[in-house]
Amino acid sequence: MKMMPLERRGISNSRLVLGCMGLGGSWNSADPVTSSHIRQAEEAVEAALSIGITMYDHADIYKRGKAESVFGQVLKQQPRLREQIVIQSKVGIHLSDGILPQRYNFSKGHILHSVDGILERLGTQYLDVLLLHRPDPLMEPDEIAEAFTMLKLTGKVRNFGVSNMSPGQIRFLQSALPDPFVVNQLEMSLLRHHWVDPGILHINQKADLKDSFPEGLMEFMQMENIQIQAWGPLSQGRFSGKESDNATEAEMKTAALVQQIADENETTPEAIVLAWLMKHPACIQPVIGTVNPKRIIACKDAARQAEIMTREQWYTLLVSARGVNMP
């Protein structure tokens, strides 16, 4: 299998990332972090490490900071673990407080303040990667560059990236930054398969653009050696055993097909769902959102399945998920 962009940059060779949004209990900031929440984090990290996951994804808003806090407790109890793993977090979203709406903020002051909070909650001196969480319409590249330069010079952040951004937005920001972005994190899965559409359905076709994906994004990421990370890659278990009252006919047929391929390959449905993403030449790196140890371990075989998945299987899964034939 090809080397991932992060691996080529010497940052990480972890084929999967553990997304930590599920840690820390409820989204109510008034609810305290308990010993059971810390134990949940320990078990999730243990399961992830057991299948070779060494990269962990956070954001300052996850459980309103509590996800990072419980992960920080895991690091505190295992001091040697920090140098064995890669930690990334995200900044830029203000959650609604009931008075003001949810909004985005890429101002220098907010970025610097947010990173200090992240480092304090995690109990670490640096982040391996910092991502700008969602595009801020008011973002100014020069101001962001000032913040990033300070974070780099003080050793608080080693690498930078973005999340949910288009090629145009990345070029706009990159024009003022001295260091290249190393990651762009996007929602991609067998359920949210619209990232395939621009290269097939938007060329000389009457495409349904209600779920459009930025034109040329996949090609741009590969040309710029930017790691594509897929959030939501397991689709909340829709294709790996979770029952849903509102599943479409296409989803039900695809779940059956995933199970069939998994049975034939003597593996798990989770591995097949992830392998479908990882088969792509862009070396997509799934960020699995489950913190259930059994489901984490069920993802173990994904990289091997990506290597052996045939083109025919890949297209069959795509057509099944789309619910209509290719043009």
198: pLDDT strictly greater than 90: no
pTM as predicted: 0.94
248-265: average pLDDT:
96
- Cα distances from 231 to residues 47, 72, 131, 143, 188, in angstroms, run 19, 22, 13, 28, 6
Domains by residue range for the chain, with CATH? 5-239+280-300 (3.20.20.100)
Q: Is 303 helix (H, G, I), strand (E, B) or coil?
A: helix
Q: Running DSSP on this structure, what letter comes out for residue 158?
A: E
186-201: average pLDDT:
86
The model's pLDDT over 21-78, given as tens digits with 9 standing for 90+, comes to 999 999 998 999 999 999 999 999 999 999 999 999 999 999 999 999 999 999 999 9
Is 56 annotated in the active site? no
Question: What pLDDT sits at residue 203?
Answer: 47
Question: What pLDDT sits at residue 246?
Answer: 85
Question: What pLDDT sits at residue 265?
Answer: 97
146: pLDDT strictly greater than 80: yes
- State what percent of residues in the chain have pLDDT above 90: 87
Q: pLDDT class for 210, splitting at 50, 70, 90?
A: low
Question: What pLDDT sits at residue 204?
Answer: 46
Which of 56, 62, 104, 315 is an active site residue?
Answer: 62
**Where is pLDDT greater, at 209 or 243?**
243
**Where is pLDDT greater, at 194 or 162?**
162
User: What is the token pair recorded at 159?
Assistant: 């690498």
The DSSP result for 12-41, as a single string, is ---SSEEE-TT-SS-S-TTSPP-HHHHHHH
- State what percent of residues in the chain have pLDDT above 70: 96
- Spatial CB neighbours of 115, under 8 Å, sequence gap ≥ 6: 91, 127, 130, 151, 156, 157
Residues 145/153, Cβ–Cβ less than 8 Å: no
275-289: average pLDDT:
97
Radius of gyration of the chain (CA): 20
19: pLDDT strictly greater than 80: yes
